[in-house]
Amino acid sequence: MKKLFFAAAAILFFTACNSNNDNTATVIPEKEKELRGLVAQYPDSLLLKENLVQYFRENNNYGTAIAETEKAISSDSLNERLWYIKAMLHTENDDTLQAIQAWEKTIHISPKPEYIMSLGSLYALSKNPLAIGMGSLLLSAPHTRYQGLFIQGLYFNNTGDKEKAVDFFEQCIRMDYTNMLAHREKAIAQYDSGKYLDALKTLEIALRIKNNYDEGYYWMGRCYEKLNEKEQAVKSYEMALQADPNYIEAKDALAKLGVVR
């Protein structure tokens, strides 16, 4: 999936230390002081606790964001919203095992389709056959059927059955033509199978739907490289960077082709 995720764990509070008679005190940011003060003043406010967690999340301080969420859960262990926040934090922090456990708990409290979709996708990415069951749950309702097809396609894509994966993604696309992830994953399955021209056709369709789709251009570049069409590959990677100037993989691909940006 796309650029998922950040490195974790930062320590917020330091105790004053005394070494060689030098005392060092940590300066806590004013915003953090304010948010912590509000939580202490109104300990029953979930919104204020969320604001504190969001503050740490926005500063890529996932360790403390998760710790604050767990502290809130310890006094309200069946709160769906808190478990959802914890699951999202672990997902963004690229901690698949902890994310799966948090999503499982969230679904146990409230089996919403969007939660099942998130857990099913993580199962699929980790090659866990439970992904098939999650997909089947979503197939049972017309408005979530395309999500179930996507999860099952993702599972087969990651476990190596590329032909079956393409079939599921095509079914998903027929139900939701604008699903960029399904187009992308179908193209990746075709790419992995060595069907580079087919993958290009899939990506061209996706880009007609969304002409600034950075990942579409990136995978076109990958296909063109395999077809030894360097000039087209460079153009595709540059288009990916026009859509997203921070697309690291596209920058790296250009550098390998001798293009410095």
pLDDT tens digits, one per residue of 99-130: 999 999 999 999 999 999 999 999 999 999 99
Q: Average per-residue pLDDT in the chain?
A: 90
Q: How far is CA 48 from CA 43, 73, 131, in A?
A: 8, 14, 35
Provide the phi-psi class of 154: left if phi over 0, else alpha when psi is between -120 and 50, else beta: alpha
Provide the phi-psi class of 10: left if phi over 0, else alpha when psi is between -120 and 50, else beta: beta
- Which secondary-structure segment (H or E) carries 18? strand 17-19
Helix, strand, or coil (residue 159): helix
Mean pLDDT of all residues in 145-149: 94
Indicate if the alpha-carbon torsion angle 73, 78, 79, 80 is positive or negative.
positive
